[in-house]
A and B are shown apart, each in its own frame.
Chain A
Amino acid sequence: MNIIISNASTKPIYEQIYGQIKNCIISGELTEGDALPSIRGLAKDLRISVITTARAYDELEKDGFINSVAGKGSYVAEKNLQLVREEQLKQIEQHINEIISLAGPCGLDEEDITGMLRLMWDENHREEKP
C-alpha cells in the first residue's frame, strides 16, 4: 500500500490518509480482514504525528471501512457494497456540481453540457470496445 502525503495540498494530512486508505479499500487493493499498519507504526514510518493517523483511523472506523480491536490493531471491515455505492454516487454528484459551476462563467447552458456529455460518453465507450 502506498500512502503519499503532500504538504502542499489544501487537504489536512489526516484527510489525505483517510482518502488514500479508503481508496485502497474500495478499489480492492485491501480486502476484508486485511490488517492495517498500526496507528503508531504508520505515523512513525510516515514521519507524522500519531494523533493524525489516529484521527484518520477513527474516521475510517466511523464510516465503516475498518474495525479496530483493542490491543490487536485495525482490520479492513466487510465490504459494505451499499456504502461503496453511496460513496461513488456522492463523488459523481460532486463532479456534476463542479461542472455546473464551471459552466456558468463559460456561458454554457444545460443543453451544451448535456451535448458534451453525450459526445464524451460515446467516445469513452467506443474506446472500450475490443
Chain B
Amino acid sequence: MNAIEINGLVRQYSGFTLGSLDLALPSGSIMGLVGENGAGKSTTIKLIMNAVSRDAGTVSVLGVSNQDAAFTALKEDIGVVLDEAYFPEVMSAKNVGSVMKNTYRKWNGKVYQDYLERFSLPPDKAFRDYSRGMKMKLAIAAALSHDPKLLILDEATSGLDPMVRDDILNIFNDFTRQADHSVLLSSHIVSDLEKICDYIAFIHGGRLLFCEEKDRLLEEYALVRLPKERLADLPEDSIIGQKCSEYGAQALVLRSRVPEDLPLEHTNLEDIILFLARGDQKA
C-alpha cells in the first residue's frame, strides 16, 4: 500500500497553478519533496491533509481518501510538523502535552517526556520565549509522541543548526525502521534530503519534474567539466543541463549516454536539482 497516493491533483490560484500532480509515497519509505520557495511544496502538503480544497484529482492517505468522513479519525496516525503555525505563545511544553493527551488517543506521555529531555526543552517555559530551533523541536516531539504511521514535515529542519538537524534526521531514519512507517519531508536544504531519503520528488513552478529513487539519481547522473567548445562533442540527449563561464563549461550528463572514456565526476543531489531547475545557462 502507498502511504500517500496523489492522482491528477490540481489547485489553481491567481497567478499560480499547482498541478496536475501524480505522486505516490510507497509505504516504509522516506520521500523528500524539494523545490525552491514558492514552488508548491507547502501547498501540496496542505492539499494532502485537505487543509485547502482541490480543484481536481484524488488524494488518499494510508488508504483512505482525504475527503472521506473517516479521514478526521485517520489523522490520529499522521504526525504533522508545519513551518509556521505553532502553539499558542503562552503555553508551555507541559501544557502542550496536556492538550495533545486530550487530542490523540494513542498519546504517550512518557515518549513525549523523553523527547523533551533529549531536546533539552524546559517543561515550563512559555512558547513565545523559545528560539526557532526549540519551536521546531517541540513540534517534532509532539508529532512523534502519538505513535503515528506517517510523518509529514514542511521545512522541519530550516533554521536549525547542523547538529540539531543531524539529530532530527537520525530520528526520522529510526522512525522508518518499522516497515509501515513512512515520512514525507519537504525541504529546500537538499543536502539534508540526500542524507536520508529513499525517493526525491522535485517540484518546480507548481509541476512535478521528477520523482526518482535517490540512489539511482546519483548513479545515473554525473558532472563533467570541459572547455566550452567540447560541449558540442557530447551527444545531444546526454546533456541535462549546462553552465558556461569565462573559463569553461560544466554539464550535468547521463552516464549511460556519454562516451566511456570521458572523465566524469560524482554529482550530488544539489547539483542535479540546480541544473534541472536552471536549465541552460550561457555565460
Q: Which residues of A contact B (CB under 8 A)?
A: 7-8, 12-14, 40-41, 44, 47-52
Contact = CB atoms under 8 A, between A and B. Distances in A.
Contacts of B219: 12
20 contacts: A7-B266, A8-B266, A12-B219, A14-B215, A40-B176, A40-B177, A40-B179, A44-B173, A44-B176, A47-B173, A47-B195, A47-B196, A49-B198, A49-B214, A49-B215, A50-B29, A50-B176, A50-B198, A51-B215, A52-B215
Nearest to B214: A49
A51 B214 CA distance: 9
Interface in B182-202: 195-198
Contacts, number: 33
A51 B198 contact: yes
B174 interface: yes
Contacts of A40: 28, 176-177, 179
A50 B219 CA distance: 16
A89 B154 CA distance: 53
Contacts of A51: 29, 198, 213, 215
Contacts of B196: 47
B218 to A, nearest CB: 8
Contacts of A12: 215, 219
Contacts of B179: 40
B266 to A, nearest CB: 7
Interface in B126-176: 173-174, 176
A124 B93 CA distance: 70
B199 to A, nearest CB: 8
Contacts of B213: 49, 51
B93 to A, nearest CB: 28
Contacts of B214: 49
Nearest to B213: A51
A104 B29 CA distance: 49
Contacts of B28: 40, 50
Nearest to A9: B266
Interface in B42-94: none
Contacts of A8: 266
A74 to B, nearest CB: 15
A18 B223 CA distance: 25
Contact of B177 (A13, A44, A49, A52): A44
A48 B215 contact: yes
Given A40-B177, A51-B213, 14 more contacts: A7-B266, A12-B219, A40-B28, A40-B179, A44-B173, A47-B195, A48-B215, A49-B197, A49-B214, A50-B29, A51-B29, A51-B198, A51-B215, A52-B215
A129 to B, nearest CB: 44
Contacts of A14: 215
A103 B96 CA distance: 73
A42 B213 CA distance: 18
B176 to A, nearest CB: 7
Contacts of B195: 47
Among the interface residues B173, B195, B197, which one has the most CB atoms of the partner chain A within 10 A?
B173
A12 B216 CA distance: 9
Nearest to A39: B179
Nearest to A50: B198
